[in-house]
Amino acid sequence: MRRNLLLLTVVTLIVSLVAAAGAQTPPQGRLEGHQGPVWDVAWSPDGARLASAGEDGAVRIWEPVTGAEGVPAWQTVRTFGRAAAGVTAVAWSPDGARLAAAGKDGTVRIWDAASGAEQAVIEAHAGPAWDVAWSPNGGRLATAGADGAVLTWDADTGAALETFAGHEGEAWAVTWSPDGRTLASAGLDGVVHTWEADTGAARVAFEGHAGPVWDVAWSPGGTALASGGLDGSVRLWDVAASGARRAPVALRGHAGDVNAVAWSPVPSETGAAVADSLYIASGSMDRTVWVWRADNGERVSVTQAEAYITALAWSPAMPVPDNETGATFSRLAGGGYDGAIQVWDFLARVQVVADPDETEAPPVVLATATPRRAPGVHGGHQCEFEPAARPQHGRRPRRPVGFRRGGHGGGAEQLRRLVPA
- Which domains are assigned to the chain? 5-415 (2.130.10.10)
Q: pTM for the whole thing?
A: 0.77
pLDDT greater at residue 123 or residue 16: 123
**329-339 tens-digit pLDDT:** 678 999 999 99
Average confidence (pLDDT) over 95-109: 96
293-297 contacts: CB < 8 A, separation 24 or more?
A: 293/11, 294/1, 294/219, 294/224, 294/236, 294/263, 295/1, 295/3, 295/7, 295/8, 295/11, 296/1, 296/3, 297/236, 297/249, 297/250, 297/251
**153-185 tens-digit pLDDT:** 999 999 999 999 999 999 999 999 999 999 999
Mean pLDDT over all residues of the chain?
75
Task: Answer whether residue 71 shows pLDDT above 70.
Answer: no
Task: Answer whether residue 72 shows pLDDT above 80.
Answer: no
pLDDT greater at residue 366 or residue 116: 116
Handedness of CA 163, 166, 167, 172 (dihedral sign): negative
**Lowest mean pLDDT, pick from 185-189, 272-276, 308-312:** 272-276
Task: Answer whether residue 216 shows pLDDT above 90.
Answer: yes
Average confidence (pLDDT) over 310-332: 73
Handedness of CA 237, 402, 134, 122 (dihedral sign): positive
Q: Answer yes or no: are the C-beta atoms of 153 and 161 closer than 8 Å.
A: yes
Task: Reduce the DSSP state of residue 7 to 3 states and report it.
Answer: helix
- Please give the Cα distance from 328 to 157 (Å, whole number): 42
Average confidence (pLDDT) over 72-78: 82
Task: Answer whether residue 377 shows pLDDT above 80.
Answer: no
Task: Answer whether residue 54 shows pLDDT above 80.
Answer: yes
Handedness of CA 390, 34, 228, 355 (dihedral sign): negative
Task: Answer whether residue 6 shows pLDDT above 80.
Answer: no
Amino acid letter, residue 352: V
Handedness of CA 277, 283, 284, 286 (dihedral sign): positive
Which residues sit opposite 348 in a β-bridge?
328, 369
Task: Answer whether residue 389 shows pLDDT above 90.
Answer: no
Q: Answer yes or no: are the C-beta atoms of 11 and 295 closer than 8 Å.
A: yes
CA angle 217, 220, 225 (to 5 degrees): 35
pLDDT greater at residue 29 or residue 341: 341
pLDDT at position 173: 97
- Please give the Cα distance from 186 to 260 (Å, whole number): 12
Q: Answer yes or no: are the C-beta atoms of 416 and 402 closer than 8 Å.
A: no
- Please give the Cα distance from 397 to 50 (Å, whole number): 25
Task: Answer whether residue 24 shows pLDDT above 70.
Answer: no
**230-286 tens-digit pLDDT:** 999 999 998 864 444 456 889 999 999 999 999 988 765 444 444 677 789 999 999
Q: How many CB atoms lie under 10 A from the CB of residue 51?
A: 23
* pLDDT above 70 as % of the chain: 66
366-369 contacts: CB < 8 A, separation 24 or more?
A: 366/16, 366/20, 366/21, 367/15, 367/16, 367/17, 367/18, 367/19, 367/20, 368/19, 368/20, 368/23, 369/16, 369/18, 369/19, 369/20, 369/23, 369/25, 369/301
Task: Answer whether residue 358 shows pLDDT above 70.
Answer: no
CA angle 101, 107, 112 (to 5 degrees): 40
Beta-carbon contacts of residue 327 (< 8 Å; ≥ 6 apart): 15, 321, 347, 348, 349, 370
